[in-house]
C-alpha cells in the first residue's frame, strides 16, 4: 500500500499536467521531433551539471571597480590579479580549496544553474574598515545577491591565498554538511 501511495504521489498526481504539456508539444510537431532527435532535445530539456572551471568562475563574476587612475582602482587591479591566480590554482586537484567550494561560498550553489546565475554575480572589494577600525583580511559573501567581497589588505599572493582559504573553509556549508 505504501509503495502504491508513493507511486501515485510521484507519477499519478502530475499525470494530467504532463499530458497537457505533451499535447501542447504535439500541436506544432515538436513532440514527434523530440522522439526522432532524443539526444538533441535531452541537452535542451534536461539539466546537466556544467563543469566548474576557473574560466567559468572568472567569467561569471563581474568586478565592481572604482574610476581608472584612482588609488582604490590600482589596489583593486592588484587584488583582481591575486583573485585570478587563486581560482586558477584552485582548479588543480591538490589545491587547498576547490572551485566548487568557492562557488558555494559566493552564491550558495554547488553547481552553475542551467540558464544563468540571477542576480549576476559581482566581485566587490572591502575598502571600508570593520567595527574594529581595521580592514578585513578575510573574504565575505552575500549569497542572496551573489556578491563576493575580496579583502584588499594583501600585497603578496601567499598572504592573500592563506586568508582566502581560511575564510572560505571556515564558513563552508552554513553549518550544514
Residues designated as active site: 144
Do 74 and 125 form a contact (C-beta atoms < 8 A)?
no
Q: At what angle do helices 157-169 and 99-107 cross, to 10 degrees?
A: 60
Sequence-distant (≥ 6) Cβ neighbours of residue 106 within 8 angstroms: 61, 121, 141, 143, 146, 147, 148
C-alpha cell at 61: 563574476
Classify 120 as helix, strand or coil: coil
Do 79 and 135 form a contact (C-beta atoms < 8 A)?
no
Amino acid at each position: 500500500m505504501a509503495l502504491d501511495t508513493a507511486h501515485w504521489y510521484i507519477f499519478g498526481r502530475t499525470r494530467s499536467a504532463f499530458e497537457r504539456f505533451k499535447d501542447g508539444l504535439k500541436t506544432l510537431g515538436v513532440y514527434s521531433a523530440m522522439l526522432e532527435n532524443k539526444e538533441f532535445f535531452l541537452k535542451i530539456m534536461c539539466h546537466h551539471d556544467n563543469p566548474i572551471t576557473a574560466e567559468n568562475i572568472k567569467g561569471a563574476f563581474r568586478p565592481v571597480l572604482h574610476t581608472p587612475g584612482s588609488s582604490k582602482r590600482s589596489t583593486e587591479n592588484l587584488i583582481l590579479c591575486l583573485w585570478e591566480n587563486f581560482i586558477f590554482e584552485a582548479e588543480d586537484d591538490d589545491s587547498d580549496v576547490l572551485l566548487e567550494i568557492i562557488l558555494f561560498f559566493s552564491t550558495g550553489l554547488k553547481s552553475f544553474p542551467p540558464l544563468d546565475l540571477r542576480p549576476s554575480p559581482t566581485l566587490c572589494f572591502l575598502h571600508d574598515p570593520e567595527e574594529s577600525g581595521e580592514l578585513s583580511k578575510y573574504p565575505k559573501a552575500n549569497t542572496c545577491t551573489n556578491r563576493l567581497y575580496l579583502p584588499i589588505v594583501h600585497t603578496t599572493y601567499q598572504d592573500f591565498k592563506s586568508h582566502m582559504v581560511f575564510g572560505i573553509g571556515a564558513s563552508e556549508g552554513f553549518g550544514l554538511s
